[in-house]
């Protein structure tokens, strides 16, 4: 009799373990295009125009196209160096504020065909794009709306020029992963010889809704970046890091007196943090130049960020659910300086080696309760971002225990929520079992696509617990890993 009860009991538990459906999504959710973007994590932003040859940061728009003569330019060499740095994509500044187009556009004469580059037959956008395709890197463009060369700037005719420039970039260079738009507008410029200051009304002039409808139509997989979104938001500084609590959801805050937020005109105090339960999924991008400025300056030779500095920025951007967008500045030869190449390669190696071995792989994993077999604890360490563990609907503060036969030594903890179901966890801690009790070694808030915690001193333990302390709904984890930072 007892055995029959046991048998039925087991059968019931077995069947029940299959019966729980997937958790319901929570809050604003990422689009398929944003999910792809999240995988990119680290990418580059190349600035290379006549401004490089003038040794300036902002070209006035009056540089003679003849100065653009990078005689050793080699797109594949540049993109290979970025690849060695672990970058997975590249955005090319195809036109900066100086207005010089790096492709033979029909919209303005102020373009690469007027320069000695490839005897006026060149297309630098194409060369970078092709190198990216060949080396398996994603490609995107930044076309500055502010144009200090174009005499039509300030009129509606220029807005048409700008949209036509985007249409050319959207038609001739394959699929783009990002369309990057900045909000800078300093006013003064050459403007075809007018040498004047042109003020525009940021809230109406560019007509972003119309422009971005073109982006959506022609490049549906391109993530639109600007300080307000739509897909990816600026993090609010150009130093390469997000706030310690940084939500992927966001409700942009208009500047005082305005009802709507438009690029270049928002109260950006909220950008580093995002908005808990915000209106849309708009994760942050942390942009920062590898050297001191966005453009190459020979005098900044010793201001290239070291691999250790880059690793720190990586932890504070990618490790806070955002992306790291590194400014890359080719020199007047059309190549990256040796010191840039060396720093990128060492950074790439440091990240790679540090996250190569997930110590959780040979751990036993258990949780205080479970949602059933379909959401097994093993799915948190299978290396597959599409499989996940979930707690049951009633458990908003689950604990997950990892245990090993021998001590493991680690100083990096990486967690990923299953973000197709939204950003759920509000706070959690990491505990180790020591002298017969749990001891807290770290705690944090937002997780989302990725959260990395770095312990300044490595810890050795046989049992580690991830304890969720607050969540409005049941919890999902697609991956949890423990690592030891490489000593390089
Ligand atoms: C800013 C620009 O003003 C800088 O020159 C640079 O291009 C940076 C990435 O975006 O808005
Ligand atoms: Ca998984």
| Strand 399-416, strand 427-434: pairing | unpaired
Cα separations (Å) of 218 from 30, 160, 179?
Answer: 20, 16, 11
Give the residues surrounding ligand 1 with Cβ less than 6 Å away: 45, 58, 182, 184, 287, 294
pLDDT of 255: 86
Reading the block at residue 221, the tokens are: 């997989």
125-134, 143-152, 227-236: range with lowest mean pLDDT = 227-236
Give the number of the ligand closest to the Cα of residue 186. 1
pLDDT band for position 256 (50/70/90)? confident
Reading the block at residue 185, the tokens are: 């507008």
CA–CA dist 88, 76 (Å, integer): 14
- Which amino acid residue places its CA nearest to atom 6 of ligand 1? 294
Contact of 149 with 62, CB cutoff 8 Å: yes
CA–CA dist 45, 92 (Å, integer): 6
pLDDT of 473: 98
Reported as type and span, the H/E element at residue 39 is: helix 32-40
Annotate 59-97 with DSSP letters as a single string: --S---GGG---TT--HHHHHHHHHHTT--EEEEEEE-T
Number of Cα atoms under 13 Å in the Cβ half of residue 306: 5
Q: Of 435, 414, 212, which Cα lies nearest the Cα of 315?
A: 414
Mean pLDDT calculated for residue range 107-134? 98
Residues with CB under 5 A from ligand 2 (ion): 379, 382, 384, 387, 478
pLDDT tens-place string over residues 16-53? 455 589 999 999 999 999 999 999 999 999 999 999 99
Average pLDDT in the chain = 95
449/11: higher pLDDT: 449
pLDDT of 4: 56
Mean pLDDT calculated for residue range 207-236? 96
Question: What does pTM read for this prediction?
Answer: 0.95
- Which amino acid residue places its CA nearest to atom 4 of ligand 1? 294
Contact of 368 with 399, CB cutoff 8 Å: yes
Residue reference for tokens 């540090």? 354
- Which amino acid residue places its CA nearest to atom 10 of ligand 1? 182
Residues 6+ apart with CB under 8 A from 215: 166, 170, 179, 222, 224
CA of 206 to the centre of ligand 2 (A): 43
135 DSSP β-pair partners: none
pLDDT tens-place string over residues 136-167? 999 999 999 999 999 999 999 999 999 999 99
pLDDT tens-place string over residues 410-428? 999 999 999 999 999 999 9
pLDDT tens-place string over residues 65-76? 999 999 999 999
pLDDT of 15: 45
pLDDT band for position 180 (50/70/90)? very high
Q: Is the predicted pLDDT of residue 183 greater than 90, yes or no?
A: no
């Amino acid at each position: 009799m007892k055995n029959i009860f046991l048998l039925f009991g087991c059968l019931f538990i077995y069947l029940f373990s299959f019966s729980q459906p997937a958790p319901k999504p929570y809050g604003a959710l990422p689009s398929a295009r944003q999910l792809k973007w999240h995988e990119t994590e680290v990418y580059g932003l190349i600035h290379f125009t006549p401004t490089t040859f003038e040794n300036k940061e902002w070209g006035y728009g009056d540089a003679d196209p003849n100065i653009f003569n990078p005689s050793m330019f080699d797109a594949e060499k540049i993109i290979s160096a970025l690849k060695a740095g672990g970058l997975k994509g590249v955005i090319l500044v195809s036109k900066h504020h100086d207005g010089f187009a790096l492709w033979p556009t029909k919209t303005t004469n102020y373009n690469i065909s007027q320069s000695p580059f490839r005897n006026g037959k060149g297309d630098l956008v194409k060369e970078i794009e092709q190198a990216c395709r060949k080396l398996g890197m994603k490609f995107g463009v930044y076309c500055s709306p502010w144009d200090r060369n174009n005499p039509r700037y300030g009129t509606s005719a220029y807005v048409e020029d700008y949209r036509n420039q985007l249409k050319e970039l959207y038609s001739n260079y394959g699929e783009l992963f990002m369309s990057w738009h900045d909000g800078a507008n300093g006013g003064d410029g050459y403007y075809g010889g007018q040498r004047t200051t042109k003020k525009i009304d940021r809230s109406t002039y560019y007509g972003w809704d119309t422009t971005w409808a073109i982006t959506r139509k022609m490049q549906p997989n391109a993530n639109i970046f600007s300080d307000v979104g739509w897909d990816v938001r600026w993090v609010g500084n150009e130093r390469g890091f997000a706030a310690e609590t940084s939500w992927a959801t966001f409700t942009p805050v208009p500047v005082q007196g305005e009802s709507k937020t438009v690029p270049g005109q928002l109260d950006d105090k909220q950008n580093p943090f995002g908005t808990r339960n915000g209106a849309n999924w708009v994760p942050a991008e942390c942009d920062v130049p590898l050297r001191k400025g966005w453009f190459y300056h020979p005098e900044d030779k010793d201001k290239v960020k070291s691999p250790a500095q880059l690793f720190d920025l990586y932890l504070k951007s990618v490790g806070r659910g955002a992306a790291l967008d590194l400014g890359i500045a080719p020199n007047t030869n059309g190549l990256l300086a040796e010191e840039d190449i060396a720093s990128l390669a060492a950074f790439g190696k440091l990240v790679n080696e540090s996250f190569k071995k997930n110590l959780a792989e040979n751990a036993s994993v258990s949780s205080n309760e479970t949602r059933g077999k379909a959401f097994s604890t093993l799915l948190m360490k299978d290396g597959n971002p599409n499989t996940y563990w979930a707690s049951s609907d009633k458990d908003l503060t689950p604990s997950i225990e990892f245990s090993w036969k021998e001590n493991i030594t680690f100083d990096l903890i990486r967690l990923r929520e299953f973000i197709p179901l939204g950003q759920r966890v509000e706070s959690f801690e990491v505990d180790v079992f020591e002298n017969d009790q749990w001891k807290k070694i770290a705690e944090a808030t937002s997780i989302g696509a990725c959260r990395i915690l770095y312990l300044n001193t490595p810890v050795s333990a046989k049992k580690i617990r991830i304890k969720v302390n607050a969540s409005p709904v049941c919890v999902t984890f697609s991956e949890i890993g423990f690592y030891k930072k490489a000593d390089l």
